[in-house]
Amino acid sequence: MTAPIIHMENIKKHYGNVIALNGVTFDVRPGECHCLLGDNGAGKSTFIKTMSGVHQPTEGSITFEGRPLSFSSPRDAMEAGIATVFQDLAMIPLMSVTRNFFMGREPTRGRGIFKRFDIEKANEITMVEMRKMGINLRGPDQAVGTLSGGERQTVAIARAVYFGAKVLILDEPTSALGVRQTANVLATIKRVRAQGIGVVFISHNVRHAMAVGDRFTVLNRGQTLGTATRGEIDAAQLQDLMAGGQEMAELEGSLGGTI
């Protein structure tokens, strides 16, 4: 079995007396899609922010490519090869796809006072990278705001892959998308995995997770309820775990089966 790119062992995160994470263990391997599932308030956001360097764990260890690491900032995590695509995407709708693709990392030509943005090279790279992800733009100067939600997600994913992501964290990438746009994003995830990149797919949608996932870890109140591989668990069982099936069964019994 391939060694994990990143392994997080017994991660705990406390905010004063509030325990957000209480001993979470999680890893992701090259070319794998490991889905992290849980209802609102389960601890998913805190966990991915810990993985991406936004928060430092109160306890626990992080190993990246076999070496112990401690990320003191998101920049540290990005330089190591951990990229996060958040729900808000951090894009400027009125700017072109190329400008959004290279935001802050623009290729240049010339030196000194003659140094300038190499727009031709940037446009060419943008078109090539988007085609790799199955998106044919009208042109690199097309405004991001004219793209569909799924296409904007693909721009963000393509950008992360181009700049060297080894682990790609996707925070609820399909939550606000229609059926066709969701299908496009899930297809993009498969393309990313084919390049040997590990994908952490954060979601509360079991169907979407089952479509692309290799392993499934369920979070509940800051703790893992277990990890299953594809074929070991079906969608109904996974949904039951997420929804707290045992708690719901007890509540239904106490209310005389009215739920």
In percent, the amount of the chain with pLDDT more than 70 equals 93
Whether 86 has a pLDDT exceeding 90, the answer reads no
Instruction: Give the structural domain span for 70.
Output: 6-94+143-254
Q: Tell me if 34 sits within 8 A of 200, measured CB to CB.
A: yes
| In a domain? residue 204 | yes
| In a domain? residue 179 | yes
User: What are the pLDDT digits (tens) for 199-253?
Assistant: 999 988 899 999 999 999 999 888 888 899 998 888 888 888 877 655 545 555 5
| In a domain? residue 11 | yes
Domain containing residue 220: CATH number: 3.40.50.300
| In a domain? residue 207 | yes
When pLDDT is averaged across residues 53-76 and rounded to a whole number, the result is 89
| In a domain? residue 112 | no
Q: In the prediction, which pLDDT does 246 show?
A: 52
For residue 59, count other CB atoms closer than 10 A to its CB: 13
Whether 256 has a pLDDT exceeding 90, the answer reads no
| In a domain? residue 127 | no
pLDDT band at 258 (very low <50, low <70, confident <90, very high): low
pLDDT band at 110 (very low <50, low <70, confident <90, very high): confident
| In a domain? residue 246 | yes
User: What are the pLDDT digits (tens) for 91-103?
Assistant: 888 999 999 999 8
User: What are the pLDDT digits (tens) for 19-52?
Assistant: 899 999 999 999 999 999 988 888 888 998 999 9
Order of all β-strands in the sheet with 67-69: 18-28, 6-15, 59-64, 67-69
Tally of domains within the chain:
1
pTM: 0.87
Q: In the prediction, which pLDDT does 4 show?
A: 93
CA distances from 84 to 197, 202, 241 (A): 13, 11, 26
User: What are the pLDDT digits (tens) for 130-163?
Assistant: 999 988 898 999 999 999 888 999 999 999 999 9
